[in-house]
Amino acid sequence: MLVVGDVVTDVVARHAEPLAADTDTAARIAVRPGGAGANVACWAARCGARVRLLGRVGADSADWHRAELRAAGVDPVLRIDQDLPTAVVIALVDAAAERTLVTDSGAAFQLGPADWAEELLDGSARVHLSGYLFFSPPGRELAAVVAKSARARGLPVSVDPASAGFLRQFGVPGFLDAVSGTDLLLPNEAEAALLSGQAEPAEAARELSARCGGAEVVVTLGAGGALAAVGGRVVARAPAVAAGAVDSTGAGDAFTGGLLAARLAGADLPTALATGCRAGAAAVTTVGGRPPKAG
């Protein structure tokens, strides 16, 4: 599988008390490798898939990110930006393990067609595009090039919309037009509601599947698990897996990685949903968006 998307340095600040204005708030702070695209790649590899990742990072931390991806079982193809630093996200995680993100997209938003090479698709059985690609002009151009190349080879393409905030800024019609022809769309509940205009998740999934030409639409629901629609109707649901949550950063990425790995292995949609839910549950028990290191 080829994943195209963002590689990020995450600064995760877990605070037990609400943030206090004009003073200090005690927190436990950790620096972790992250990024929606990179996280998906790492979780898919953890779930048994062979994964290559195309991303763009700054020279400031390229060696560290490459080493972390390799250690997670991912084949990293990182383009080095000599002018911009690697993207940074500050994740503020409250006592309920819910996170608020502050983002500096840095080099990630410069990933574009010049970084592409057709041979990146060699040996791949499917392609996954991080939604963050669609929020910058170079990224949108690259997504279109990759999707066209993948379809020419008969490879399915999936997209994770990634960010309700960025979707609002970009605009729903433009995003839906950009992902037209996608085989699998993977929004969370808030993103599905925004993209469909339907507040109820099942209705949102049905609406989006119909708008996307009958494509698979999988909506993640946090503690509510996940559901899938195909051809404008809901065809599968999976419950969440109980877990002691410490940090929800990357839980959706873990779900996506698990689901895609299962589909690559030939699993049907209900089984893939369940695999994704297990990966998402594992993700919330660790700090950061990547699988815990073995040992």
User: Could you tell me the domains of the chain?
Assistant: 2-18+28-283 (3.40.1190.20)
Asked if the model's pLDDT at residue 144 lies above 60, the reply is: yes
Asked if the model's pLDDT at residue 50 lies above 90, the reply is: yes
pLDDT band at 164 (very low <50, low <70, confident <90, very high): confident
Mean pLDDT of the 76-90 span:
97
Give pLDDT, residue 45. Answer: 97
Judge residue 158's burial from the number of C-beta atoms within 10 Å of its C-beta, 0-12 exposed, 13-18 middle, 19 or more buried.
Answer: buried
Kindly report, residue by residue over 220-243, the tens digit of the pLDDT: 998 899 999 999 999 999 999 988
Give pLDDT, residue 191. Answer: 95
pLDDT band at 142 (very low <50, low <70, confident <90, very high): very high
Instruction: Answer for the pair 87, 60: CB distance below 8 angstroms, yes or no.
Output: no
Percent of the chain with pLDDT over 70: 99
> Distance from CA of residue 121 to its chain's centroid?
19
pLDDT band at 269 (very low <50, low <70, confident <90, very high): very high
Asked if the model's pLDDT at residue 289 lies above 70, the reply is: yes
3-class state of residue 263 by DSSP: helix
Judge residue 74's burial from the number of C-beta atoms within 10 Å of its C-beta, 0-12 exposed, 13-18 middle, 19 or more buried.
Answer: buried
Give pLDDT, residue 165. Answer: 85
Helices (H) and strands (E) in the chain, counts: 9, 13
Mean pLDDT of the 147-158 span:
97
Kindly report, residue by residue over 198-222, the tens digit of the pLDDT: 999 999 999 999 988 889 999 999 8
Give pLDDT, residue 82. Answer: 95
Give pLDDT, residue 294. Answer: 66
- Those residues whose C-beta lies under 8 Å from the C-beta of residue 139, and which sit 6 or more positions away, are 109, 111, 112, 132, 133
pLDDT band at 33 (very low <50, low <70, confident <90, very high): very high
Question: How many whole angstroms separate alpha carbon 104 and alpha carbon 86?
Answer: 9
Instruction: Answer for the pair 102, 87: CB distance below 8 angstroms, yes or no.
Output: no
Mean pLDDT of the 11-37 span:
92
Give pLDDT, residue 295. Answer: 52
Which amino acid would we find at residue 27? A
Question: How many whole angstroms separate alpha carbon 19 and alpha carbon 25?
Answer: 6
Does 189 or 162 have the greater pLDDT score?
Answer: 189
Mean pLDDT, the chain, whole residue set: 94
pLDDT band at 163 (very low <50, low <70, confident <90, very high): confident
Give pLDDT, residue 130. Answer: 95
Which amino acid would we find at residue 61? S
Mean pLDDT of the 9-27 span:
92
Give pLDDT, residue 100. Answer: 87
Mean pLDDT of the 83-95 span:
94
Which sign does the torsion angle of CA 178, 86, 41, 122 carry?
positive
Judge residue 202's burial from the number of C-beta atoms within 10 Å of its C-beta, 0-12 exposed, 13-18 middle, 19 or more buried.
Answer: middle
pLDDT band at 147 (very low <50, low <70, confident <90, very high): very high
